[in-house]
A and B are shown apart, each in its own frame.
Chain A
Amino acid sequence: MITFIGVRHHSPACARLVRETIEELKPAYVLVEGPVEMNARIGELLLGHELPIAVFSSYKDGERHHASWAPFCDYSPEWTALTAGRAAGAQLRFIDLPAWHPAFSERRNRYADAEQRYAEVVDRLCREFSVDNVDTLWDHLFEVPDPDGLAERLAAYFDLLRGEAEAGEDDVAREAYMASWIRKVRREAGDRPIVVVTGGFHRPALVRLAALPGDDEPVVHALPADAAGGSYLVPYSFRRLDSFDGYQSGMPSPAYYQHVFEAGVDTAASRLTEAVVTRLRDRKQRLSTADLIAATTSGQALALVRGHRHRSRTDVLDGLVSALLDEALDVPLPWSARGTPAPGTHPVVVEMVAALSGDRVGRLHPETPAPPLVHHATAELERHGLDSDGARKLDLARDRDREVSRVLHRLRILGVPGFTRQSGPTTGIDPEPVEQWTIARDDLRLPALIEAGGYGATIDEAAGALLAERVTDVGGDVEKLAGVLFDAALAGIPELSGRVLDAVGRAVGATPEMGPLGRVLDVVLALWRHDRLLGTAGSTPLGVVIGASVERILWLAEGVRGGAGADLPRIGALASVRDALVHAGKALDLDRDAALGVAARLALSAEAPPDLRGAGFGFGWSLGSSDAGDPVRAIRGAFAPSTAGDWLAGLFALAREEVLQAGGVLDVLDEAVDVMGDGDFLIALPALRQAFEFFPPRERDTIAQHLLGRRGIVGHSRALLRLAAEPELVAEGAELDGRVAELLTREGLITT
């Protein structure tokens, strides 16, 4: 006799149902949806850990790299199946495919909600019951109502969900596998009862498949020969449990559901209110008793309207929000959609969500086998003679030393204490090839390594995973992004996964300013073009940064309006884009025509600041664009005293060589300066001086020589470039002269 219980992962109601069913039936076997590779080690799971913990699985072969977690908390139905099953003396089996099976290649959370993959039915149900999303729907149907008939309701719900959805290929493979285990155990069990605990979405299919005849033996998949990986227990935390989103997400708010599991919905509501209030008051938020009464009343009224016997999670939260906030929100409430709070979420709301999430961290029993990373790190340290304290000097040009440096950088990135770099290259174009390290033993080294074990089985894999996570966290801060990519280069992790590359592109796409992005583009372009030392030449992530930066700078350039003065970083950014087009345009397939279009519009724009207009013109000219226009006419057009210098700064930054080579340009400039009145010249002078700073001394010399030649003066150009007094003083003197002359003229003492 087989009892199938279809559950939602991390549901207290389901966990209770599983426990009660097992206690009542006393089955001979309890089969649980879980990684089959852990079957031999179920004892390890039941050593007596403090939950939450997770089975961490990693897999790596030539093609893919994958890490996933199967988290357990006190209220996981899978966990209660194991504990209640053990207490009832049943044989325990995990029956799902191992984490490294291709069916899991897209999954990071084994216990993610299947509903998310079959959203259409869920949407219809949400509409039908008029609730915001699947979490609210679930509470409404299962967590809050009386548990009578829960099993039947669950079955009906999942049958409905499954009834219309076509299962994906991955789910079909998993179900076939789970069914073969059920058939095998049924043969062994004879008449004795069996309880099968799986995700509710699989239940209808398993009931059907298990009834089919067949005496096939389920294959316990071993790791493929050319692959590395394994499954280990790691401590987990409520925060991490709550931070999955999208297709990976499960039930939110672990701290709240822990209360529901321990004390029931009603008590959980009061504890939730208490947690939120304590948290807000700790943060010095004003929160009066009247507010609290209003919040509780609203919460209870909402429960009434929604037909709940006790206040559910969202009843409490909605009540609190109604009562506590008296201003407009900038983004919707996080529990009306799914996932983590969006940026701009009201601080009070953020605190509420944090209170629900909780900060419980699991702890492993001391006898738990350590994850492979610990062994790998220890072995690496021994191999390179790094297991004793002291200082190390490494020459990065030597292969052996570079290898050691990478090991140390990986440990540093993983946050393992005791490995400190005293000196070494600080950016991608720093010529320093020597690194100094100090190594010191630290009590926290082992715990840190175990924690880092969650990121991967080897230190390179773990460091790569951690860097990938840092990329996703940088937001729009490109300097931080550059830091991460440089760390990746130092640690010898040249390639990042597609998901991370997307995050890199997004980070660049969110940058608000051209200047910093230009500097980053410079460094990255140099690394991408030249670097053999760190092995980053031609690497894909850098290529992605280059492409995204070019696009973003061009986008930002066209949005700058007005303002005076030459902003050197931003014209520098345009120069970097030009360099990228020249050196990487073909290899990275950058859109040259679009860039030239932007530059041409900039050059002709009436609203763009003069330096960008000049730079826009120089951009087209230096790339030899056919429709850049005639430089001589462009210079004449731009030569207003107040803006000429800024315009020229832009031009010189982008097209210095063209200015020197093209005949006539210097003559036009000379003419234009000549015809300026004294007053105008003094206005234009500082900016003009700044603009000519773009020429190195030798070229300034050439210009001076040319100017002397134009005037038929034979002499040394140096004399023209070296003034007897400070230029500022000369300018002030000229201004004073001018004022005196003006006064004298006004009083009729001299005639002009």
Chain B
Amino acid sequence: MTDIETMQRPPAEVRYADELRRLRETDSDPRPPGWALSLRAARRFIVGDERHGISKKFVGDPSLIDRSLVSLATSRGLMLVGEPGTAKSLLSELLAAAVSGDSTLTIQGGAATTEDQIKYSWNYALLVADGPSTKSLVPAPLLHGMSGGKVVRFEEITRCPLEVQDCLLSPLSDRVMSVPELTGADAMVFATEGFNIIATANTRDRGVNEMSSALKRRFNFETVFPISDLATELSLVEQEASALLRRSGVTAAPSRDVLEVLVTAFRELRSGQTARGDSMDKLTSVMSTAEAVSVAHAVGLRGWFLRGESGTAEDLVSCLAGTAAKDSPEDLAKLRRYLEQQARGRKGAGWKALYDARHVLPG
């Protein structure tokens, strides 16, 4: 068992153990069967409740949280879809922690994910010695969740091959999983109240492994959008970047001017539309809020460790080249065109500095 103090990132139910406990103690509303909290308390856990010292953990429309929680309480699974970096996984973790008090029953989808990793596998030594029995059975997250009545998280489900995804069909619709190797009562595992599935999928992966329509029908789809307004995104980036910089030993706070230009540029390159409404090219790289935070972090690091200040537009341009354009020459060209033509003539010292720093872009 890892000590909480040294864990790099404790799961949500550990990080917010105190808040969850307080919510449980004061929760007088009816709970759906098998839930650790009532719907309203679970909602407050995520959208926050300042008066009772519950922090706001997810930036976005509260109605999304309402719909997600209600989906989980019904007989359908919840599918969170959206661009990369829109905090889908964070939301799924928070939901699982609120509903089941446990967010660790997680299946990570990928090209190599097999049914064993989802349902169950065997302890082969015992299997050979004693034959199939509940003792030699090694449950995977899905089996755990069904028998224990907990929420199972399935990350990046569309990265799994279609046939692997479809093994969720009967657990979702009939709420039962058969273990054909066992006999008698053990051969069928019926889901206990409280079991459900939260899957996440990335819209960039659309078409890699399309989901079967049978499986789609068993999920309620919720789209998680990038943060809709500049001010909210800006303050989130500022807050997160400042925290990261403090942990990296940088004492200078990031410059508000640079951050504003950074966040605006990210939003424009992400949406393919300028703040004024002109259409322009989207970058193929992911321009998420998370990426913006990492660029802001990098800008701060460069400024501090190279010159002992908070980072300038020149740092921003060189970081953009590495983080935003990555290794795509096309994106680099789009970025150059953006700096040459869109950054020119905008009001504000930040934009002027960005335009003047355009020559820093490599190539």
CB within 8 Å of A: which of B201-244? 201, 203, 206, 213, 216-217, 219-223, 225, 228
CA distance A325 to B81 in the complex (A): 12
The reply on B356 being an interface residue by CB < 8 A is no
The reply on B346 being an interface residue by CB < 8 A is no
Shortest beta-carbon distance, A503 to chain B, in Å? Answer: 10
**Known A130-B65, A328-B81, A336-B64; further 10 A-B contacts with Cβ < 8 A:** A131-B63, A304-B39, A307-B40, A318-B63, A326-B216, A326-B219, A329-B225, A509-B278, A510-B277, A559-B337
Which residues of A are found within 8 Å of B201, using beta-carbon distances?
328
Take A305-B40, A305-B69, A512-B279 as given contacts and tell me if A336 and B341 are in contact as well, using a CB distance cutoff of 8 Å. Answer: no
Contact of B67 among A304, A321, A509 (CB under 8 A): A321
B48→A130 contact, CB < 8 A: yes
CB within 8 Å of A: which of B75-94? 76, 81-82
5 closest A-B pairs by CB: A509-B278, A328-B81, A329-B223, A130-B62, A130-B47
A318→B66 contact, CB < 8 A: yes
Take A131-B62, A294-B76, A607-B333 as given contacts and tell me if A328 and B276 are in contact as well, using a CB distance cutoff of 8 Å. Answer: no
Q: Tally A-B pairs: CB < 8 A.
A: 117
B337→A558 contact, CB < 8 A: yes
Q: What would 30 A/B residue contacts be, using CB atoms closer than 8 Å?
A: A130-B43, A131-B62, A294-B74, A298-B70, A298-B220, A301-B39, A305-B70, A318-B63, A318-B66, A326-B213, A326-B216, A326-B217, A327-B216, A328-B223, A329-B223, A332-B225, A332-B228, A336-B61, A336-B63, A506-B277, A509-B278, A509-B279, A511-B279, A552-B278, A554-B341, A558-B341, A559-B334, A559-B337, A598-B341, A601-B340
Name which residue of chain B comes closest to A555, CB basis. B341
Shortest beta-carbon distance, A213 to chain B, in Å? Answer: 43
Most chain A beta-carbon contacts within 10 A, residue among B50, B76, B203, B221: B221
A305→B43 contact, CB < 8 A: yes
Name which residue of chain B comes closest to A327, CB basis. B221
Which residues of B are found within 8 Å of A136, using beta-carbon distances?
63
CA distance A305 to B74 in the complex (A): 13
B67→A302 contact, CB < 8 A: yes
The reply on A314 being an interface residue by CB < 8 A is yes
The reply on A337 being an interface residue by CB < 8 A is yes
CA distance A128 to B54 in the complex (A): 12
A298→B277 contact, CB < 8 A: no
Which residues of B are found within 8 Å of A305, using beta-carbon distances?
39-40, 43, 66, 69-70
The reply on B280 being an interface residue by CB < 8 A is yes
Name which residue of chain A comes closest to B30, CB basis. A304
Shortest beta-carbon distance, A600 to chain B, in Å? Answer: 11
Contact of B280 among A128, A476, A505, A555 (CB under 8 A): A555
The reply on A408 being an interface residue by CB < 8 A is no
Which residues of B are found within 8 Å of A363, using beta-carbon distances?
none
The reply on A451 being an interface residue by CB < 8 A is no
Which residues of B are found within 8 Å of A304, using beta-carbon distances?
39
The reply on B331 being an interface residue by CB < 8 A is no
Task: Render A322-349 as a binary contact track against B, CB cut-off 8 A, 1 for contact.
Answer: 1101111101110011000000000000
CA distance A555 to B344 in the complex (A): 12
Contact of A301 among B74, B217, B277 (CB under 8 A): B74
Which residues of A are found within 8 Å of B81, using beta-carbon distances?
327-328
CA distance A454 to B40 in the complex (A): 48
The reply on A540 being an interface residue by CB < 8 A is no
The reply on B71 being an interface residue by CB < 8 A is yes
The reply on A597 being an interface residue by CB < 8 A is yes
Contact of B278 among A319, A321, A510 (CB under 8 A): A510
Take A132-B62, A326-B219 as given contacts and tell me if A558 and B340 are in contact as well, using a CB distance cutoff of 8 Å. Answer: yes
The reply on B281 being an interface residue by CB < 8 A is yes
Name which residue of chain A comes closest to B342, CB basis. A555
Shortest beta-carbon distance, A557 to chain B, in Å? Answer: 10
Which residues of A are found within 8 Å of B280, using beta-carbon distances?
555
CB within 8 Å of A: which of B320-340? 330, 333-334, 337, 340
Q: Which residues of A contact B (CB under 8 A)?
A: 127-128, 130-132, 136, 294, 297-298, 301-302, 304-307, 314, 318-319, 321-323, 325-329, 331-333, 336-337, 476, 505-506, 509-512, 552, 554-555, 558-559, 561, 591, 594, 597-598, 601, 607
Shortest beta-carbon distance, A474 to chain B, in Å? Answer: 13
Q: Which residues of B contact A (CB under 8 A)?
A: 39-40, 43-44, 47-48, 50, 56, 61-67, 69-71, 73-74, 76, 81-82, 201, 203, 206, 213, 216-217, 219-223, 225, 228, 274, 276-281, 330, 333-334, 337, 340-342, 344-345
Contact of B221 among A294, A326, A601 (CB under 8 A): A326
Which residues of A are found within 8 Å of B220, using beta-carbon distances?
298, 322-323
B223→A298 contact, CB < 8 A: no
Name which residue of chain A comes closest to B215, CB basis. A326
A328→B70 contact, CB < 8 A: no
B206→A322 contact, CB < 8 A: no
Which residues of B are found within 8 Å of A331, using beta-carbon distances?
225
Contact of B228 among A130, A314, A323, A337 (CB under 8 A): A337
CA distance A594 to B340 in the complex (A): 9
Name which residue of chain B comes closest to A594, CB basis. B344
Which residues of B are found within 8 Å of A306, using beta-carbon distances?
66
Shortest beta-carbon distance, A544 to chain B, in Å? Answer: 13
Which residues of B are found within 8 Å of A329, using beta-carbon distances?
223, 225
B48→A322 contact, CB < 8 A: no
B66→A510 contact, CB < 8 A: no
B277→A509 contact, CB < 8 A: yes
CA distance A628 to B73 in the complex (A): 69
Shortest beta-carbon distance, B313 to chain A, in Å? Answer: 19
A298→B203 contact, CB < 8 A: no
Shortest beta-carbon distance, A328 to chain B, in Å? Answer: 4
Which residues of B are found within 8 Å of A327, using beta-carbon distances?
81, 216, 221
B345→A591 contact, CB < 8 A: yes
CA distance A511 to B280 in the complex (A): 10
CA distance A601 to B342 in the complex (A): 16
Shortest beta-carbon distance, B277 to chain A, in Å? Answer: 5
Which residues of B are found within 8 Å of A321, using beta-carbon distances?
67
Shortest beta-carbon distance, B228 to chain A, in Å? Answer: 6
CA distance A333 to B66 in the complex (A): 14
Shortest beta-carbon distance, B67 to chain A, in Å? Answer: 5
B63→A509 contact, CB < 8 A: no
B62→A298 contact, CB < 8 A: no
Which residues of B are found within 8 Å of A298, using beta-carbon distances?
67, 70-71, 74, 220
A132→B61 contact, CB < 8 A: yes
CA distance A117 to B170 in the complex (A): 53
CA distance A467 to B344 in the complex (A): 32
Name which residue of chain A comes closest to B80, CB basis. A328
Name which residue of chain B comes closest to A126, CB basis. B62
CA distance A131 to B279 in the complex (A): 31
Contact of B206 among A328, A555, A591 (CB under 8 A): A328
Which residues of B are found within 8 Å of A297, using beta-carbon distances?
74
Which residues of B are found within 8 Å of A607, using beta-carbon distances?
333
Name which residue of chain A comes closest to B81, CB basis. A328
CA distance A749 to B337 in the complex (A): 58
Shortest beta-carbon distance, A595 to chain B, in Å? Answer: 10
Name which residue of chain A comes closest to B201, CB basis. A328
Which residues of B are found within 8 Å of A598, using beta-carbon distances?
340-341
B66→A302 contact, CB < 8 A: yes
Which residues of A are found within 8 Å of B216, using beta-carbon distances?
326-327
Which residues of B are found within 8 Å of A511, using beta-carbon distances?
279
Name which residue of chain B comes closest to A329, CB basis. B223
Most chain A beta-carbon contacts within 10 A, residue among B50, B70, B279: B70
Shortest beta-carbon distance, B3 to chain A, in Å? Answer: 35
CA distance A128 to B65 in the complex (A): 15
Which residues of A are found within 8 Å of B65, using beta-carbon distances?
130
CA distance A302 to B73 in the complex (A): 11
CA distance A336 to B61 in the complex (A): 7
CA distance A130 to B330 in the complex (A): 42
CA distance A591 to B330 in the complex (A): 27
Name which residue of chain B comes closest to A597, CB basis. B340
Shortest beta-carbon distance, A408 to chain B, in Å? Answer: 35
Shortest beta-carbon distance, A257 to chain B, in Å? Answer: 19
B337→A328 contact, CB < 8 A: no
